[in-house]
């Protein structure tokens, strides 16, 4: 329809703009002509971090694969019973094409952070990037996005929000065991933004152009961040008054962990924001509340005897006397240099080692109510020690906070130990050594062979095909494309004299993308990773005695010059009326299910990265019959994945 309007006499279209590269042209012969529509799009300025549309493969709706094979009558729903709402299935999957110069960035935005700035940024990121790589954290959190992009190499993440948003993303990466872990960058939208300050991204977003931010993310350094584990057990040696909680709100420390007066202020802020969220819609108001609460504590001095209720042991050394000596009102464990919105409690001259985010050590600082306001003027706290492990024993219900999340904790025994090191993105700094990104390790896979007869008989049932598969052994393969894996499999089979052999024309089977197994076209094996089609087992189809043609060219040769099928071939129900395949009669599906046609198939994924729609799909007419009928070409019956 667009090409029809490009007559250069129509006034309906004044100008054209590409949704990917953002180039615009006037609807004039001197500026643009219809032939340019066929040119390959470069994906624009941010091509190195944009997820190409050719990586997005649209999936058919659930049930479409089996609807043409067997239809079961739906049972009538009984009145009075609640109907459970089924979980909405994925509509697309990510199939990355191995490309050395693409480091895609996955964007997670918290729209509620920073006075609702995130809602505006969500639309801007979706405009500049592929909308499929931008996720709203209020719609189910980061897990779905991380699992979708799990197999994408050289992946980077941009977390837009406060320090809590970054911690949320890092915790989900731990939960799903993302290997190798992607590097995480920060766009500060929160109140404190101490982690963003420590990584060089500043204390808050100030309407900087999104294009500039994306450029900095694409050209950033990779650094390591220590992450600490908190293990809490109740202190049974003292009575429990029951006015606190038995566990901390978070059990992992990314920025800092503290107890005492500063945690009390953070808890008051949290409770006030929960009661009146409309009063806390800007950073300035939030900081004013902190200042007001700090002034009250300065007068009350409620936690001046904190050291009387706390025992501190660092690396096996008892430091409780030092806490009592300095009469501290708060104890802070610092993992990063920034604290409380940009202050620096640790005095660099107070420790034996230069503090760093990846040194495996945490800095312990003591603060009094008088020192807290002085931090805003560049002052420091009392340096207690630097340690690798710490043990805190409390004998009273004391307010505590982990990365800004506060609560009152009942008397407890708390163990602080190093958990792991996260890869973070820091703003480019001359002379800084980058942390090499961990590469995907080799995979140990089981090689399973499926015969063509079994595949034809059970292609609609995954479990039956698994049971009919023959185990050819196990081998180690690198995470690479199928073209390279084919060479390794052929070599392995030739070196196993007692193992069943494969025919020369065997092909890979995708066992994890859809509800059914389907074949991978050999011509496009270089476009798919081994992790795209298999988990722990790689299934291959042995076509030693094929009853179905392998390609449309084979079908041409099989039909012969007479144009009549030979005995045993697939024909229509009445044996006539199926014309031979020609480019004019129908377009062969690039990628779909093998076996009898279903009402919907998986569309093609071409190597051209800018020539498809957002989902990388092309519309096609559905096939309505289970068998080849009158006027139905043979290529609709035999499909191949490409």
Could you tell me the sign of the dihedral formed by the alpha carbons of 522, 523, 528, 529, in that order? positive
- Name which residue leads in pLDDT, 548 or 307: 307
DSSP code string of 431-469: TPPPPPPPPPPPEEEEEEEEEHHHHHHHTT-HHHHHHH-
Q: State how far the Cα of 214 lies from the Cα of 107, in Å rounded to an integer.
A: 10
How many C-beta atoms surround the C-beta of residue 270 within 10 A? 17
Q: State how far the Cα of 610 lies from the Cα of 66, in Å rounded to an integer.
A: 33
DSSP code string of 338-366: -BTTTB--S-GGGSSS---TTSS-EEEEE
Q: Does pLDDT of 398 surpass 70?
A: yes
Taking CA atoms, 248 is separated from 193, 198, 448, 532, in Å, by 21, 24, 48, 39
* Prediction pTM value: 0.69
Taking CA atoms, 38 is separated from 9, 41, 52, 60, 477, in Å, by 21, 9, 17, 27, 39
Taking CA atoms, 493 is separated from 380, 489, 537, 590, in Å, by 68, 6, 16, 29
Per residue in 46-73, pLDDT tens? 889 999 988 888 776 655 444 333 444 4
Q: Which residues on neighbouring strands pair with residue 317, listed in sequence order?
A: 314
Closest Cα to residue 419, out of 386, 388, 384, 385? 388
Q: Does pLDDT of 393 surpass 50?
A: yes
Three-class secondary structure of residue 14 per DSSP: coil
Instruction: Report residue 574's pLDDT band, with 50, 70 and 90 as the boundaries.
Output: very low
Q: Does pLDDT of 295 surpass 80?
A: no
Q: State how far the Cα of 481 lies from the Cα of 530, in Å rounded to an integer.
A: 6
Quick one: CA torsion of 391, 393, 398, 402, rounded to 10 degrees? 20
Instruction: Report residue 270's pLDDT band, with 50, 70 and 90 as the boundaries.
Output: low
Tokens of 16: 């054209």
The answer to whether 408 touches 248, Cβ cutoff 8 Å, is no
Question: What's the pLDDT at 639?
Answer: 40
Question: What's the pLDDT at 264?
Answer: 83
Closest Cα to residue 414, out of 576, 235, 159, 273? 235
- Name which residue leads in pLDDT, 293 or 514: 514
Length reported for the chain: 642
621-627 average pLDDT score: 38
Taking CA atoms, 216 is separated from 49, 187, 269, in Å, by 11, 11, 33
The answer to whether 428 touches 223, Cβ cutoff 8 Å, is no
Q: Does pLDDT of 335 surpass 90?
A: yes
Tokens of 85: 């709402």
306-320 average pLDDT score: 92
Residues of the chain with CATH 2.60.200.40: 228-420
Helix (H) or strand (E) holding 384: strand 382-387
Three-class secondary structure of residue 154 per DSSP: coil
527-548 average pLDDT score: 75
CATH of range 92-219; options 3.40.50.620, 3.40.50.1980, 3.40.50.10330, 3.30.360.10: 3.40.50.10330
Q: Does pLDDT of 521 surpass 90?
A: no
601-619 average pLDDT score: 39
Per residue in 176-214, pLDDT tens? 999 889 999 999 987 778 999 999 998 888 888 998 999
- Name which residue leads in pLDDT, 590 or 146: 146
- Name which residue leads in pLDDT, 294 or 182: 182
The answer to whether 208 touches 226, Cβ cutoff 8 Å, is no
Q: Does pLDDT of 593 surpass 80?
A: no
DSSP state letter for 301: -
The most distant pair of C-alpha atoms in the chain lies apart, rounded to whole Å, by 103
Report the chain's mean pLDDT, rounded to a whole number: 76
Question: What's the pLDDT at 627?
Answer: 37
May I ask the CATH class of domain 228-420?
mainly beta
Measure CA of the first residue to CA of the last residue in the chain; give whole Å.
28
Tokens of 143: 């897990």
Question: What's the pLDDT at 146?
Answer: 94
Place of tokens 């660099």: 348
CATH architecture for residues 442-542: Roll (3.10)
DSSP 3-state helix, strand, coil percentages of the chain (rounded to 5)?
25, 20, 50
Helix (H) or strand (E) holding 400: strand 398-402
Per residue in 2-27, pLDDT tens? 555 555 555 666 777 888 888 888 87
- Name which residue leads in pLDDT, 54 or 599: 54
Q: Does pLDDT of 470 surpass 50?
A: yes
Lowest mean pLDDT among 195-199, 414-418, 615-619: 615-619
Question: What's the pLDDT at 134?
Answer: 95
How many C-beta atoms surround the C-beta of residue 42 within 10 A? 13
Q: State how far the Cα of 482 lies from the Cα of 525, in Å rounded to an integer.
A: 5
Q: Does pLDDT of 585 surpass 80?
A: no
Per residue in 350-364, pLDDT tens? 767 888 999 999 999
Question: What's the pLDDT at 252?
Answer: 95
Question: What's the pLDDT at 297?
Answer: 55
Instruction: Report residue 282's pLDDT band, with 50, 70 and 90 as the boundaries.
Output: low
Tokens of 294: 């700090």
Taking CA atoms, 534 is separated from 271, 274, 444, 445, 503, in Å, by 49, 47, 11, 9, 21
- Percent of the chain residues topping a pLDDT of 70: 71
Question: What's the pLDDT at 605?
Answer: 41
Contacts of 582 (CB under 8 A, 6+ apart): none
Q: Does pLDDT of 608 surpass 90?
A: no
Question: What's the pLDDT at 368?
Answer: 87
Question: What's the pLDDT at 105?
Answer: 94
Q: State how far the Cα of 55 lies from the Cα of 421, in Å rounded to an integer.
A: 30
Q: Does pLDDT of 230 surpass 90?
A: yes
């Amino acid at each position: 329809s667009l090409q029809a309007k490009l007559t250069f006499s129509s006034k309906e279209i004044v100008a054209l703009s590409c949704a990917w590269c953002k180039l615009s042209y006037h609807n004039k012969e001197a500026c643009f002509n219809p032939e340019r529509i066929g040119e390959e799009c470069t994906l624009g300025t941010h091509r190195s971090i944009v997820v190409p549309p050719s990586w997005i493969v649209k999936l058919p709706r659930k049930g479409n694969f089996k609807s043409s094979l067997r239809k079961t009558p739906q049972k009538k729903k009984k009145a009075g019973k609640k109907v459970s709402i089924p979980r909405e299935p994925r509509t697309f999957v990510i199939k990355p094409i191995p490309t050395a110069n693409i480091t895609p960035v996955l964007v997670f935005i918290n729209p509620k952070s920073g006075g609702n700035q995130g809602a505006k940024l969500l639309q801007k990121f979706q405009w500049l990037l592929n909308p499929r790589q931008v996720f709203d954290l209020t719609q189910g959190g980061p897990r779905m996005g991380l699992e979708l992009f799990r197999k994408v190499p050289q992946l980077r993440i941009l977390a837009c929000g406060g320090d809590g948003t970054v911690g949320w993303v890092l915790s989900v990466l731990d939960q799903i065991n993302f290997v190798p872990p992607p590097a995480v960058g920060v766009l500060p939208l929160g109140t404190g933004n101490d982690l963003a300050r420590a990584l060089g991204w500043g204390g808050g977003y100030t309407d900087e152009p999104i294009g500039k931010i994306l450029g900095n993310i694409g050209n950033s350094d990779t650094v390591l961040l220590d992450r600490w584990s908190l293990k809490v057990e109740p202190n049974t040696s003292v009575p429990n008054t029951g006015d606190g909680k038995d566990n901390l709100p978070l059990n992992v420390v990314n920025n800092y962990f503290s107890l005492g007066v500063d945690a009390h202020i953070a808890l008051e802020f949290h409770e006030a924001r929960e009661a009146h969220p409309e009063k806390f819609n800007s950073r300035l108001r939030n900081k004013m509340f902190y200042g007001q609460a700090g002034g009250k504590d300065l007068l009350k001095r409620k936690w001046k005897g904190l050291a009387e209720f706390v025992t501190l042991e660092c690396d096996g050394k008892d430091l409780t006397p030092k806490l009592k000596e300095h009469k501290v009102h708060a104890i802070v464990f610092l993992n990063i240099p920034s604290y409380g919105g940009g202050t620096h409690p640790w005095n660099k001259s107070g420790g034996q080692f230069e503090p760093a985010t990846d040194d495996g050590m945490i800095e312990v600082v003591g603060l009094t109510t008088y020192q807290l306001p002085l931090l805003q003027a560049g002052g420091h706290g009392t340096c207690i020690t630097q340690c690798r492990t710490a043990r805190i024993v409390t004998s009273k219900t004391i307010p505590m906070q982990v990365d800004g999340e506060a609560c009152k904790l009942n008397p407890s025994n708390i163990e602080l130990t190093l958990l792991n090191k996260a890869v973070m993105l820091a703003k480019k700094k001359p002379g800084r050594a980058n942390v090499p990104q961990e590469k995907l390790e080799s995979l140990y896979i089981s090689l399973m062979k499926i015969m063509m007869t079994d595949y034809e008989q059970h292609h609609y049932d995954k479990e039956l095909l698994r049971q009919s598969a023959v185990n050819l052994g196990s081998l180690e393969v690198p995470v690479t494309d199928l073209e390279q894996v084919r060479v390794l499999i052929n070599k392995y089979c030739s070196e196993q004299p007692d193992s069943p052999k494969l025919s020369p024309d065997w092909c890979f089977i995708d066992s994890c993308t859809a509800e059914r197994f389907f074949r991978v076209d050999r011509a496009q094996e270089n476009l798919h990773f081994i992790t795209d089609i298999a988990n722990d087992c790689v299934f291959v189809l042995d076509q030693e005695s094929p009853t179905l043609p392998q390609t449309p060219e084979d079908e041409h040769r099989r039909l012969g010059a007479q144009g009549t099928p030979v005995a045993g071939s697939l024909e229509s129900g009445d044996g006539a009326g199926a014309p031979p395949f020609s480019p004019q009669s129908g377009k062969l599906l690039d990628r779909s299910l093998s076996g009898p046609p279903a009402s919907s198939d998986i569309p093609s994924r071409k190597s051209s990265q800018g020539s498809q729609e957002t989902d990388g799909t092309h519309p096609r007419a559905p096939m309505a019959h289970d068998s080849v009928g009158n006027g139905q070409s043979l290529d609709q019956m035999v499909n191949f994945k490409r």
